[in-house]
């Protein structure tokens, strides 16, 4: 079994993660201490032996080390106490719109869209500095940006812009493109965007017809020995294509983030093929469960097993967890198999991946990396105190899970402790804390968060988190230092706002929006990525990711609009923020 190569493509970008020079600061990995009950006993034993002088200086020294550095030897995350938000007491829940802020977000969307429409209408992607569009492949565009933006326009009431976008879909969109497209990205952005547009137009047939046309071209990706989908698809030839960059493996998140879309399409069309192919993937994943419940980021489509690979909540892992919960919610909380898988995963995450920083006790998630350490060829796990911005979806997701899968009764806003199960209480608290950490990573020179941060744990000296290998302003910035208009933190803020009514979350969202306006807005139109969040004035990268219009600005809009828009008990958002309705399927659901 070959290990996947160290260089991984990042979710939602085609950019390879470049190798970074190591800074002296960067040696963050060490062995996971064994959690054994004997260690506490040993500490006492050493202490007694040391005091009695039987082991002399050695015993006393060992006791002293245990006493001074308990965190180095006892890897225990104490169950967090119940809390609303750290530092908060009470607030008045008022879900009416903040009209000025909401309209400022709508104006930002128009600034982004009008530049794209002026310079690149119909192209897959947009470059606001050079004012050019580009396509994912030389074979021509597949409506990446237009379709990703449709439901945001519908929600914002941008009728004229929407009418022109719809006309483009009706007249110019084709999927007859002879090139390889990423299965996951095409599903979440294009299929998800079409289905959400269908929903928010009360069933405009144009979108369902295009969704069926796309899905039928994609179905062959599932034709593997296990049913796990291949990473790419040639849309013209209608064949799945293995990912040569990763030895033909499939990433866990990519295989398990097609289900909301294919299941809903199956429901709308009564064509169960879509449903069954997506569901079968989940069966394979469940059968591949590791004893500790953790989920590595690569699987083999040949035998359906997890491959020795990193375990993390960032790229290639993230939306697996998100979709476990949302599959449960999508069909009205009747498919208990997904709740079980979700709870199992959240338990494993709390036991293995949640950590707390050195000084300010910020809650974060770490990663586990396999390393072949000894001559037997056995793998050992080392931990990396590294968190992608992508992980910032998790805070809101945990809170959503706590008030649904983790609730004993339909909970209040905010929920009371008594309304939640013990796991729900734990997840709620972790969710709140993770959001505070993600917001903290926006406290940079620009007010924007870096793509990747590293944390310090336990007795290490220095700030709680840092950008690995960061160089002084003026020097070429490291990859980790960029902000590419990512949505995950504002997504969590939106969920936390709807679930608590705490105005703190609107305030955080507004600060992030203001930083985007100040540093990413290109005066001539559009928004650009920032290469180093710690350098002001900023240096731009000539790219406006499509998720700015589909996710970041949509979640900010939803944060400031009133709560009658897309209520959480009626909708689930796919991982590209496309709103899909919760429904009761007419067919049998779940599996065992």
Ligand X SMILES: *[C@@H]1O[C@H](CO)[C@@H](O)[C@H](O)[C@H]1NC(C)=O
Q: Rule CB under 6 A: which residues touch ligand X?
A: 122-123, 133-135, 140-141
- Determine the Cα–Cα distance for residues 481 and 17; give it in Å rounded to an integer: 12
125 versus 388: smaller Cβ distance to ligand X: 125
Question: Beta strand pairing status for 579-581 and 571-573?
Answer: antiparallel
Q: How far is the CB of 194 from ligand X (least distance, A)?
A: 18
Local structure of 571: helix, strand or coil: strand
Which residues, 6+ apart, have CB-to-CB distance to 45 below 8 Å? none
Q: Of 466, 274, 278, 439, whose CA–CA distance to 359 is shortest?
A: 466
Local structure of 257: helix, strand or coil: coil
Whether residue 474 contacts residue 443, with contact meaning beta carbons closer than 8 Å, is answered with no
70 versus 140: smaller Cβ distance to ligand X: 140
137 versus 269: smaller Cβ distance to ligand X: 137
Cβ burial, residue 277 (10 Å; 0-12/13-18/19+): buried
Peptide bond into 471 cis (omega under 30): no
Q: How far is the CB of 153 from ligand X (least distance, A)?
A: 21
Which residues, 6+ apart, have CB-to-CB distance to 38 below 8 Å? none
- Determine the Cα–Cα distance for residues 492 and 399; give it in Å rounded to an integer: 9
Local structure of 165: helix, strand or coil: helix
Pull the structure tokens for residue 539.
Answer: 């240096």
Of the candidates 117, 125, 151, 185, the residue annotated as catalytic is 185
Question: Beta strand pairing status for 465-466 and 452-455?
Answer: antiparallel
185 catalytic? Reply is yes
488 catalytic? Reply is yes
The radius of gyration of the chain's CA atoms, rounded to the nearest angstrom, is 24
239: which strand partners? 234
Which residues, 6+ apart, have CB-to-CB distance to 11 below 8 Å? 253, 315, 316, 318, 319, 390
DSSP state of 542: S
Of the candidates 124, 488, 491, 576, the residue annotated as catalytic is 488
517 catalytic? Reply is no
Ligand-binding site membership of 252 (annotated): no
122 versus 477: smaller Cβ distance to ligand X: 122
Helix-then-strand count for the chain, H and E? 20, 19
Q: How far is the CB of 195 from ligand X (least distance, A)?
A: 23
Q: How far is the CB of 347 from ligand X (least distance, A)?
A: 47
Q: How far is the CB of 139 from ligand X (least distance, A)?
A: 7
344 catalytic? Reply is no
Local structure of 574: helix, strand or coil: coil
- Determine the Cα–Cα distance for residues 434 and 392; give it in Å rounded to an integer: 7
Which residues, 6+ apart, have CB-to-CB distance to 121 below 8 Å? 133, 146, 168
Whether residue 290 contacts residue 305, with contact meaning beta carbons closer than 8 Å, is answered with no
Q: How far is the CB of 167 from ligand X (least distance, A)?
A: 15
Residue nearest to ligand X (CB): 140
Q: Which stretches of 375-420 are assigned E, i.e. beta strand?
A: 379-384, 386-388
379: which strand partners? 372
- Determine the Cα–Cα distance for residues 434 and 322; give it in Å rounded to an integer: 15
Of the candidates 125, 161, 199, 451, the residue annotated as catalytic is 451
Residue positions annotated with a catalytic role: 185, 318, 451, 488
Q: Which residues are annotated as a binding site for Ca(2+)?
A: 575
Q: Which residues are annotated as a binding site?
A: 575
């Amino acid at each position: 079994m070959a290990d996947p190569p160290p260089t991984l493509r990042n979710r939602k970008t085609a950019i390879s993660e470049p190798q970074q020079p190591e800074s002296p600061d960067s040696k963050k990995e060490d062995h996971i201490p064994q959690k054994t009950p004997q260690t506490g006993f040993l500490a006492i034993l050493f202490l007694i032996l040391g005091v009695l002088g039987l082991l002399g200086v050695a015993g006393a020294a060992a006791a002293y080390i245990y006493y001074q550095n308990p965190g180095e030897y006892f890897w225990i995350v104490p169950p967090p106490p119940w809390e609303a938000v750290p530092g908060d007491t009470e607030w008045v829940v008022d879900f009416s719109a903040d009209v000025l802020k909401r309209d400022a977000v709508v104006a930002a969307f128009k600034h982004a869209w009008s530049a794209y429409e002026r310079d690149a209408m119909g192209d897959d992607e947009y470059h606001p500095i050079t004012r050019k569009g580009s396509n994912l492949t030389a074979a021509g565009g597949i409506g990446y940006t237009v379709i990703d933006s449709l439901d945001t326009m519908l929600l914002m009431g941008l009728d004229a812009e929407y009418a022109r976008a719809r006309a483009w879909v009706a007249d110019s969109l084709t999927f007859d493109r002879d090139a390889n497209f990423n299965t996951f990205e095409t599903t979440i952005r294009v299929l998800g965007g079409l289905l959400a547009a269908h929903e928010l137009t009360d069933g405009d047939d144009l979108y369902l017809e295009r969704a069926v046309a796309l899905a039928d071209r994609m179905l062959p990706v599932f034709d593997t020995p296990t049913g796990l989908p291949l990473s790419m698809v040639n849309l013209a030839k209608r064949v799945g294509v293995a990912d040569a960059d990763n030895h033909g493996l499939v990433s866990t998140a990519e295989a398990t983030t097609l289900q909301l879309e294919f299941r809903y399409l199956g429901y709308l069309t009564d064509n169960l093929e879509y449903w069954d192919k997506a569901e079968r993937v989940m069966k394979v994943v469940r059968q591949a469960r590791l004893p500790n419940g953790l989920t590595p980021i690569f699987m083999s489509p040949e035998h359906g097993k997890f491959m020795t690979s990193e375990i993390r909540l960032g790229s290639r892992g993230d939306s697996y967890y998100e979709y476990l919960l949302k599959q449960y919610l999508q069909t009205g909380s009747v498919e208990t198999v997904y709740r079980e898988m979700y709870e199992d995963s959240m338990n494993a995450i709390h036991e293995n991946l949640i950590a707390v920083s050195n000084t300010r006790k910020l809650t974060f998630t770490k990663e586990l990396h396999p390393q072949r350490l000894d001559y037997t060829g056995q793998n050992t796990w080392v931990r990396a105190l590294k968190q992608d911005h992508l992980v910032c979806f998790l805070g809101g997701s945990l809170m959503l899970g706590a008030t649904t899968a983790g609730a004993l009764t339909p909970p209040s806003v905010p929920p009371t402790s008594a309304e939640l199960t013990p796991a729900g209480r734990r997840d709620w608290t972790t969710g709140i804390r993770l959001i505070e950490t993600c917001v903290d990573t926006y406290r940079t020179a620009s007010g924007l968060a870096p793509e990747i941060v590293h944390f310090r744990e336990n007795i290490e000296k220095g700030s709680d988190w840092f950008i690995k290998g960061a160089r002084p302003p003026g020097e070429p910035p490291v990859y980790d230092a960029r902000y590419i208009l990512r949505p995950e933190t504002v997504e969590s803020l939106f969920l936390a706002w709807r679930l608590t009514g705490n105005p703190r979350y609107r305030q955080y969202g507004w600060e992030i929006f203001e930083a985007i306006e100040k540093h990413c807005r290109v005066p001539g139109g559009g928004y650009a990525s920032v290469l180093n969040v710690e350098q002001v004035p900023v240096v731009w990268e000539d790219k406006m990711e499509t998720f700015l219009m589909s996710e970041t600005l949509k979640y900010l809009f939803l944060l400031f609009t009133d709560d009658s828009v897309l209520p959480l008990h009626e909708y689930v958002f796919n991982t590209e923020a496309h709103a899909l309705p919760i429904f009761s399927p007419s067919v049998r659901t779940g599996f065992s």
